[in-house]
Amino acid sequence: MAENTTTLYRNQVIYSVFVRNHTPEGTFDGVRRDLPRIRDLGADVLWLLPIHPIGEAARKGSLGCPYAIRDYRAVNPEYGTLDDFRRLVDEAHSLGMKCIIDVVYNHTSPDSVLAAEHPGWFYHKPDGSLGNRVGDWSDVVDLDYSHRELWQYQIDTLKYWASMVDGFRCDVASLVPLAFWREARAQVEAVRPGCLWLAETVDPAFIAHIRAMGYDCLSDCQAYDAFDLCYDYDIYHIFRDYLEGKTSLDHYAQAINRQEVIYPRNYSKLRFLENHDQLRAAFLLPDERALLNWTAFSFFLKGTALIYAGQETGCVHLPSLFHRDGVDWSGPDRTALFQRMCALKKHPLLTDSVYQVHALPGDVLCAVHTKGDRRLVGVFSAQGTAALVRVGEFAPDGSYENLLDGSRVEVAGGCLSCRGEPVVLEVRP
């Protein structure tokens, strides 16, 4: 694990924004005007998907994918000017939020500044042309980190942006050498002490696929050596398998518990139900109560919570990355729910605890944060249905406050009567 990583990241909430689709105008200024609402939701960190100019060669869709970057050192003029971007970041800071930007260092667009000026820094196909190692990413060409000159160019770019922003979400970080990330972190620290490093690590099947092709691909355990946070893709596929009836809830609970013993003691995962690459939570969970429970559970997991813009209004449609496809803000307003979740995330027991998840009869997850003689006990109905839940092992008989809504919850005879809505209670000595 990065030596200076703090477990306080487990109390943080990141709000993810794609500038193009966030507001009707699709600009930095549009996002800036929405910052007070985002802050009031409870977000600590604003994450902007790539802000740079997009390549035109091999472009996908009418406007191109933001991950096919043409120039790492400029901003997309469709979003505004560099001054507009600075105003956005300054406003986030004035509201007490941090701002991180996407770093896409595995590849560029085929017509990028680097491809034009330093074609030797790229992966070449057998015929000598620039190419990429993952076939369906047809709008990008891969960089080759065997060239040390590339390292310093990329690190200098990070230092430039670190003079403005508070950290980086690093796209497919697993495909970029760990030694590069270590060196980048060390050099950036001199510019932005405490810089936040979030790695998009990848799922086990993708790691196996890339390694079978003869290329290196970092595991999460390796990535934690340089990054503060890693994605939850090591278990996300099990969550999806459960929703589709392919595996049991116990299998998912065991996968979460395994994270407690295979990662460093101060590990933090980015916990999400959805993101810009995955289907919306409201689409995956059409039952309102089930969605409520899984949303609460995602915030109760050990790690940093993610809200993808539109999740707070139950957006069902996943906006396209390739053309203008604005977020649908007309859905049910769940602001109050997310505010409660974000407030609970600040609980000190979530900062540094022993964490266990138990799958109980009735498709119920019982999650427990323990530190010393104090506990937070969460009960979540995965199907949104009522059930009698045995919690005596974790909470003695008595009357408790449900920290999610302030209601009273009774534990009697070692059981809690779950009415299909999430419950979080605190056990004190």
Kindly list the catalytic residues. 171, 200
Q: Residues near 90 by Cβ (< 8 Å), separated by ≥ 6?
A: none
What's the CA gap between 295 and 336, in Å, rounded? 13
Residue 392, φ and ψ in degrees, nearest 5 = -55, -25
Q: Does residue 329 contact residue 313 with C-beta atoms inside 8 Å?
A: yes
Q: b or e along 64-87 (b: 16 or more beta carbons within 10 Å of the residue's beta carbon)? A: bbbbbbbbbeebbeebbeeebbee
Q: Does residue 279 contact residue 304 with C-beta atoms inside 8 Å?
A: no
